[in-house]
Structure 1
Amino acid sequence: MKRIFDLVLAAVAGIFLLMPVLLVGIMVRLTSKGPILYWSDRVGRNNKIFKMPKFRSMQIGTPAVATHLLSDPDRYLTPIGSFLRKSSLDELPQLWSIIKGDMSFVGPRPALFNQHDLIELRTRSGVHKLLPGLTGWAQINGRDELPIPQKVALDIEYLQNKSLFLDTKIIFWTGLKVLRRDNVTH
């Protein structure tokens, strides 16, 4: 049922978001050198690595680590990178990952391949069995502000209570938080 929900919602979102996707792609191309999309190695269901697309918000050559681990993340941003991140527009290409089946709309956010502490905690708690999501319970309860153990605790809570109703609630709250730009650091 969840897969059908994801495919229908991705198709509807794809239709409504086609123009914004094209406009953001053009903006990325015009404001910085390099490809429009950045394909990030991420950890998916059962710790399988997959390529997750995002609109490129960082300069070419930025180290492949979580943004909070960079000494001065702002110096790596493209001219529109901060706007893309704060508005979450950089996430739009992940509709492709949802259609492909690498991601769901709701689930734990996919870890970077080198976030070993997060991967280990999720594996020990069984969260690694979930399909990662565009948004999740942790994202509406703190997003970038949460320490890893707290994120995993929220991922476990989602794992234990997952339902179509909870997914719909998370999507609704994600929309509100994105519009208000709650808990976004860069």
Structure 2
Amino acid sequence: MYKNHIKKLFDYLGAVIVLTMLSPLFFVVFIILFITTKNSVFYHQKRVGQGGVMFDIYKFRTLPKGTPILVGKQRIKIRKRVSRFARFLRTTSIDELPQLFNVLKGDMSLIGPRPVVPQEVELVNLRKKLGAMNVKPGLTGLAQVNGRKQLNNIQKARYDAIYAQHVSFKGDVMIILHTLPIIIERDGVRRFFEKKH
């Protein structure tokens, strides 16, 4: 019952609450990007959704318009094209917050496998094979709280499949509670300010 009905309400109410709470942050980020970028503040990109259906994901723009889509180790090539402020948005995951609008639209869930670009063929195929495509992609997920970027594609797909097979309210709450500390401690604010520029 939760997976097919209550989760939708959970996602909608959660997205509304978070958007309301973070509206001042949205406004500040919007103004800074509007002043510092020559392109639009937001950008959309095709991602693979539930059942393999493509959808447009929303993010704050952190790369110049026309930057090629690179996956895996190739991503290191675009680091020099990222400004310090944009790098801060990326390392703290603030650039991902507009995806709350994807949740409101019904393209995504608060919790689920992270949506990937179609160019990540191996991961997409592994998810299909293991049954991880049966749920909506999420802002955060089981793989994100169990290693995130340290995981290889097989490990990510397995965690995604485990989540898809055992969706529950308790599980979603636990993933949410584990997500924020991980962003701050492992991938976010501390790393950004400790890194030499």
Q: Does 1:48 align with 2:47?
A: no
Q: For this pair of structures, how many residues does the alignment match? A: 185
Q: Does 1:6 align with 2:11?
A: yes
Match of 2:40 among 14, 35, 41: 35
Deviations 1:7-57 (A, max 9, x none): 111111111011111111111122222110120110000100000000011
Q: TM-score, normalised by structure 1?
A: 0.93
Preserved CA contact (<8 Å) 1:43 1:110 = yes
Deviation (angstroms), 1:161: 2.2
Preserved CA contact (<8 Å) 1:43 1:49 = yes
The match for 1:141 is 146
**Structure-2 change in CA distance of 1:149 and 1:109 (3 Å):** same
Preserved CA contact (<8 Å) 2:62 2:89 = yes
In 2: Cα distance, 1:36 partner to 1:23 partner = 12
Match of 1:120 among 120, 125, 129: 125
Deviation (angstroms), 1:58: 1.3
In 1: Cα distance, 2:187 partner to 2:163 partner = 20
- Aligned-pair identity (%): 35
Preserved CA contact (<8 Å) 2:103 2:110 = yes
Preserved CA contact (<8 Å) 1:67 1:73 = no
Deviation (angstroms), 1:102: 0.2
The match for 2:195 is none
In 1: Cα distance, 2:177 partner to 2:111 partner = 11
Please report the RMSD computed on the Cα atoms of aligned residues, expressed in angstroms.
1.7
Preserved CA contact (<8 Å) 2:92 2:187 = no
The answer for unaligned runs of 5 or more in structure 1 is: none
The answer for unaligned runs of 5 or more in structure 2 is: 1-5, 193-197
In 2: Cα distance, 1:140 partner to 1:28 partner = 29
Q: Write out aligned runs for 1:52-71 (5 A).
A: 52-66=57-71, 68-71=73-76
SS in 1 for 2:22: helix
Indicate the larger mover: 52-61 or 73-82: 73-82
Q: Does 1:96 align with 2:101?
A: yes
Q: TM-score, normalised by structure 2?
A: 0.88
> Which one has the largest radius of gyration?
2
Q: Does 1:86 align with 2:91?
A: yes
